[in-house]
Amino acid sequence: MGVEFGEASRVASMRAPRILRDATGSVSIGDAHAVADAVHAVLTRCFGPESFDADLLHASFNLVEHVFAGEHPGYLACDMPYHDLRHSLDTALVMARMIDGYRVEHANAASHLTAEYGLLGVLLALLHDVGFIRKASEAALCGPQLMAEHERRSVEFAECYLKATSLARHAALASLILATRLSTNLDELFACYEKPAVTLGMMLGSADLLSQVSDRCYPERCYYHLYHELVLGGCDRVRRADGRERVLYHDALELLRNTPGFYEAIVRKRLDRDFGQVSGALGAHFRGANPYDAAICDNLERVGRVLGDGGTRLLRRNPITTTPNLAAVYTRPAGRA
């Protein structure tokens, strides 16, 4: 199942807490170097050794690690527990595996993805949430307040970064990051791209969703972390046509109560219809059962048990985030922020 990667990274991954590992339990998604090694191994098996810019791959993981840590010039550290480094690393890993599976399924197709496109897809997945990271001039803001514009900011960051790399001629494809925005008109977004780029965009949107709902702490991350991010970002309410506000989630438990419906009405619709079931390529990567499907089923079952018992005692406490020194709003009881 999957592919092998460096011994040091494998040891680090096995030492990581189980809840900080990917859906297979083999890679620490809290360790940028471990994920970079795992992705390198996947792309090597997929395209062959020396078929892609491995130096750029590892440099990009190093860059993102520094950006989220507040060690990149002009940027502050990530202050969000849900949209943290862990999520970006996991999304990049899912993306690599999906690309490999797609190549397996479409080995004889003229439109299959090249090694350059494969690397590009991983880097866009890795960079898709950097727009949440505040610039030094934005210290008065918190990350969630950038919710509405973070995809556009991510596109700008990724395009600027790619222009200085061996993938410079593909820098304009950074706009495919907009496929991760639920409100994006995908027909309009994909209209000007050829099939390989459209496929890459569909994979990117799929990887973003799958990395979230398959996370081993997804119920806890929704309850303890995502709820507060939504409140701070003003996404827990909508404004009606008459100007009045309607609150969508009065507390964190109500957000959790809406999770199964969100999965069925939004996530599955995006994966199956809008993104053409491209995520099914994960089965080809794993040469059989897809561990992401199993992880999602387990998470939904746990949410059902929590809701069925009418309490949160079945949730694990203190879900791990790769964002240190959280603000008090993320550590207080998960009521209204």
- Helices (H) and strands (E) counted in the chain, each on its own, are 15, 2
Kindly state the tokens that stand for 86.
């862990």
Question: What's the predicted TM-score (pTM) here?
Answer: 0.93
What is the model's pLDDT at position 5?
A: 61
Domain 7-330, CATH: 1.10.1300
What is the model's pLDDT at position 109?
A: 61
Domain ranges of the chain: 7-330
End-to-end C-alpha distance for the chain, whole angstroms: 42
Q: Is the CB of residue 271 less than 8 Å from the CB of residue 279?
A: yes
SS3 sequence, 133-193?
CCEHHHCCCCHHHHHHHHHHHHHHHHHHHHCCCCCHHHHHHHHHHHHHCCCCCHHHHHCCC
- d(Cα 208, Cα 84) in Å, to the nearest integer? 13
What is the model's pLDDT at position 107?
A: 79
- Nearest residue to 167 (alpha-carbon basis) of 85, 89, 73, 54: 54
SS3 sequence, 198-223?
HHHHHHHHHHHHHHHHCCCCHHHHHH
- HSE-CB at 51 with a 13 A cutoff on CA atoms is 18
What's the angle, vertex CA 182, arms to CA 124 and CA 96, rounded to 5?
30
Secondary structure element (H or E) that encloses residue 239, with its range: strand 237-239
Cα–Cα distances in angstroms (integers) from residue 322 to residues 31, 83, 172, 187, 213, in the given order: 9, 10, 30, 35, 17
What is the model's pLDDT at position 333?
A: 54
Q: In tens digits, what is the pLDDT along the chain, a chain of 337 residues?
A: 344 466 666 655 656 677 899 999 999 999 999 999 999 999 999 999 999 999 999 999 999 999 999 999 999 999 999 999 999 999 999 999 999 999 999 877 645 789 999 999 999 999 999 999 999 999 999 999 999 999 999 999 999 999 999 999 999 999 999 999 999 999 999 998 999 999 999 999 999 999 999 999 999 999 999 999 999 999 999 888 888 889 999 999 999 999 999 999 999 999 999 999 999 999 999 999 999 999 999 999 999 999 997 678 888 877 889 998 777 777 665 554 4
Q: What is the pLDDT of residues 112-161, one digit of tens each?
A: 789 999 999 999 999 999 999 999 999 999 999 999 999 999 999 999 99
- d(Cα 106, Cα 123) in Å, to the nearest integer? 22
